[in-house]
Structure 1
Amino acid sequence: MHKRAESRPGLARPQSFSNSESLRAAQMYYLQDLTMDAIARELHTSRSTVSRLLASARQSGLVQIQIRSPQERTPELERQIRARYRVDAHVVPVPDTLNEGEVLERVAMQAARTIGPLVDSNAVIGVAWGSTLSAVSRHLVPKPTHDCTIVQLNGAGNTRTSGIAYASEILRRFGQAYGARVVQFPVPAFFDRASTKQAMWAERSVRRILELQEKMTMAIFSVGSIDSDVPSHVYSGGYLDDSELDSLAQGNVVGDVATVFFRADGKDRGIPLNERTSGPPLALLSSIRRRVCVVSGPSKINGLLGALAAGLATELILDEATARRLVEADAGRKPPAGPL
């Protein structure tokens, strides 16, 4: 427990609280239904201190508040998505008047608070880079863990930039939030030749990271979509030239996860770019025990349908409009067969 500095006349002193202090106050307030006055008497402190203890509990992630209105459609949408895709769905209610950038911020904020309780000590967590994960990383709630590792899922370099600064900032935020070790993957997002990738994958320094990815207990990613209103970073950041984009269109590719492309049925075989990508095989992703997919914007619906067909998610966090599109678009289709 933190020691409190003695108060001195005329001087205001800042207060910091330990998790145990905040947790005790939160349990009495939220679980035992005690008033703040009653808690103050029991803890021999002031009502204002109790208020600050409760605020500290919320800010540190010890307390998460969920509001369920009987008028909202989100619980029913979540039920339908869970039943259909066997995923734990979290639908973020947002008004239709918001633009996609504003919706992304709302989704990212709730995703960050949903991910926190899922993170355990001794975990190996794969994190992809991109616009959605960058937004999520800005809202993460600190949660101390022991012996936790954050590993980059795919390389970020291209012909314009190394991508290190962009990807490393996302990883740094995740590592800082959970007190975790960060392992970067300093390779190109796409190799020029498949033979170069094969040679690189044989190097011991790269094998170390690939072997760590094989030990992942959790993966956090979004879905890239070619026809999204807000283009995914891989399609707008100089990673693909016109001929490669044409090749994806001709191959009926609907999206990607961590720069691994797939079609509407979730299959990734026979897509030439996948032979040169640094992203993990979909078979590896689908074998991870916990797979958190964050999606914002109904224009990503085709990519999301493909990812769900591939069985890539166990937890799905998405906005209400996208959830409605998902339920409507999938009406009458057969349930996904499961992982590749």
Structure 2
Amino acid sequence: MTDREQDVLRAASMYYLQDVKMEVIARHLHTSRSTVSRLLKRARETGLVEITLRPSSTRAPSLGRSISAAFGIDTYVVPVPDSGEPADTLDQVARATARLLASWFDSDMILGVAWGTTLAAVSRRLPPKATHGSVVVQLNGAANTRTSGIEYASDLIASFGSAFGATVHHFPVPAFFDYPETKQAMWRERSVRRVLDEQARADIALFSVGSVTGTVPSHVYSAGYLDEDDVELLHEQSVVGDVCTVFLRADGSWQDVPLNARATGPSPEQLRRIPRRLCAVAGDNKAVPLLAALRAGTMTDLVVDERTAARLLEIARGGGPRGRAGAGGGAGARETSR
């Protein structure tokens, strides 16, 4: 640790753990009270110190315990007022996700990051954390029929690399190929294989769930990634949403959804090989696709707002919309790994 990092740790330990006043800390560190104030601010910004408020009226703790017990994952429920605006809810979930991710990701680790509305919000709330030998890799392609998608995805992924001082690996392929055969050919190219290998070696995957509808629309459904025929096919297949642009039915099945043969994101099966898989969800319109993602076993950790958590449990306890059975559901729906 540098001298400044040691001072940040000492100041934070004395102030938050030992209840020492700032004037006393300043004398102990041979500095000024204003410098101690800046050290404490630095401790909060870097995630060394996390401050959590738990109002007695919130259902968040009990909701989190119920979701964890039901699905065998670690759950972090963000308290939000019932009258809160969707954009505010998204921001609160993004802040919590960013702090949690920064506490886990460290030197010599690989972070796989998807893209989308929620992940863009997380990228804007990342606290800076210096790491060494770390890598951030894009999990799914971003080009669509309207644009290359490169600027959007590159800026998002680069934000994670900048926050952690990590090397960045972009994935310059379409979000969806026109033909499955094209994807199969591209997956044999060495430049693509190199990115796929980095994805497979990831220690942490960060993603959200996409919903076909919603007040804050999922990026894949609102930015030209699907044409009318694609959307019609999704409805015919009873698709409720996606994870990393891989489409899911309500029962968690995905393998026989035709569009998935053209998708460039990791399948639930591939995601389950990554030790820690963090999903961030904001907005109760995503409760149904979130339940599908849980049934597909895609995540080990979940950050979700209070209203969505309550809606998720309501659907799950009522039997929930299960969709039609498919090749991807069943055993994988309850599989988890740490």
Indicate the TM-score class for this superposition, using the shorter chain for normalisation.
Answer: over 0.9
Give distance in 1, aligned partners of 2:146 and 2:109.
34
User: What is aligned with 2:335?
Assistant: 338
C-alpha separation in 1, matches of 2:319 and 2:232: 28
Tell me the distance in 2 between the aligned counterparts of 1:281 and 1:103. Answer: 28
Q: Deviations over 1:179-234 (max 9, x none)?
A: 10000000011001111111111111111111111111110000001122322110
Aligned position for 2:132: 146
Q: Counterparts in 2 of 1:212-231, with a 5 A limit?
A: 212-231=198-217
Counterpart selection for 1:38 from 15, 20, 24: 24
Cα contact 1:74–1:93 (8 A) shared by 2: yes
2:90 to 90, 104, 111: 104
> What is the count of residue pairs matched by the alignment?
326
1:313 Cα deviation (Å)? 0.9
Once the two structures are superposed, residues 274-316 of structure 1 have per-residue CA deviations (whole angstroms, 9 ceiling, x without a partner) of: 0001111210101210000000000011110000001111110
Correspondence 1:296 to 2:293: no
Matches within 5 A, 1:184-203: 184-203=170-189
Match of 1:254 among 240, 246, 251: 240
Q: Deviations over 1:78-106 (max 9, x none)?
A: 11111111111111111122221221112
Query: In the alignment, which residue of structure 1 is the partner of 2:54?
Result: 68
Name the amino acid aligned to 2:143: G
Paired residues of 2:7 and 2:29 also in contact (CA < 8 A): no
Shift of 1:332: 4.9
> Which residue identity does 1:53 align to in structure 2?
L
Residue 159, structure 1, aligned to residue 145, structure 2: yes
One-letter amino acid of the counterpart of residue 91, structure 1: V
Q: Partner residue of 2:222?
A: 236
Aligned partners of 2:97 and 2:272: how far apart in 1? 20
Structure 2 counterpart of 1:227, one-letter code: T
Change (3 A) 1:263 1:289: same
**Which stretches of structure 1, 4 residues or longer, exceed 4 Å deviation after superposition?**
332-336
1:80 aligns with 2:66: yes
**2:306 paired with 1:309:** no
Partner SS, residue 330 of structure 1: helix
Counterpart Cα distance in 2 of 1:104 and 1:213: 26
2-structure distance, mates of 1:269, 1:260: 9
- 1:48 Cα offset (Å): 2.4
Return the alpha-carbon distance in structure 2 between the equivalents of residues 40 and 244 of structure 1. Answer: 63
1:266 to 249, 252, 269: 252
Deviates more, 1:119-128 or 1:182-191: 119-128
Conserved? CA contact 2:71–2:334, under 8 Å: no
Structure 2 alignment gaps of length 5 or more: 321-330
Alignment partner, residue 173 of structure 1: 159
Tell me if structure 2 keeps the 8 A contact 1:310–1:339: no
User: CA 1:42/1:256 → structure 2, altered by over 3 Å: closer, same or farther?
Assistant: same
Task: Select 2:123's aligned residue among 115, 119, 137.
Answer: 137
How large is the Cα RMSD of the aligned pairs?
1.8
Report if the CA contact (8 A) 1:19-1:57 is conserved. Answer: no
2:80 to 75, 80, 94: 94
Q: 2:7 aligns with which of 18, 21, 40?
A: 21
- Residue 120 of structure 1: how far off its partner (Å): 2.1
Counterpart Cα distance in 1 of 2:148 and 2:266: 19
CA contact (8 A) 1:293 1:316 kept: yes
CA contact under 8 A between 1:225 and 1:255: conserved in structure 2? Answer: yes
Residue 40 of structure 2 is aligned to residue 54 of structure 1: yes
Give unmatched runs, 5+ long, in structure 1.
3-16
Moved more, 99-108 or 171-180: 99-108
SS of 1:89's equivalent in the other structure is: strand
The superposition leaves residues 148-204 of structure 1 with CA deviations (integer Å, 9 ceiling, x where unpaired) of 111100100011100000001111110011110000000011001111111111111
Q: In the aligned structure 1, how far is the partner of 2:54 from the partner of 2:85?
A: 24
Give the alignment partner of residue 100 of structure 2, picking from 105, 109, 114. Answer: 114
Return the offset for 1:339.
5.7
CA shift, 1:333, in A, is 4.2
CA distance in 2, matches of 1:87, 1:264: 19
Indicate if the aligned counterparts of 1:283 and 1:339 stay in contact, CA closer than 8 A: no
Deviates more, 1:329-338 or 1:151-160: 329-338
* Conserved 8 A contact 2:268-2:297: no
Distance 1:28 1:83, change over 3 A: same
For 2:121 and 2:334, locate their aligned partners in 1 and report how far apart those are by CA, in whole Å.
32
Identity %: 53
Cα distance in 2 for residues equivalent to 1:170 and 1:42: 42
In the alignment, is the contact (CA less than 8 A) between 2:64 and 2:76 conserved in 1? Answer: yes
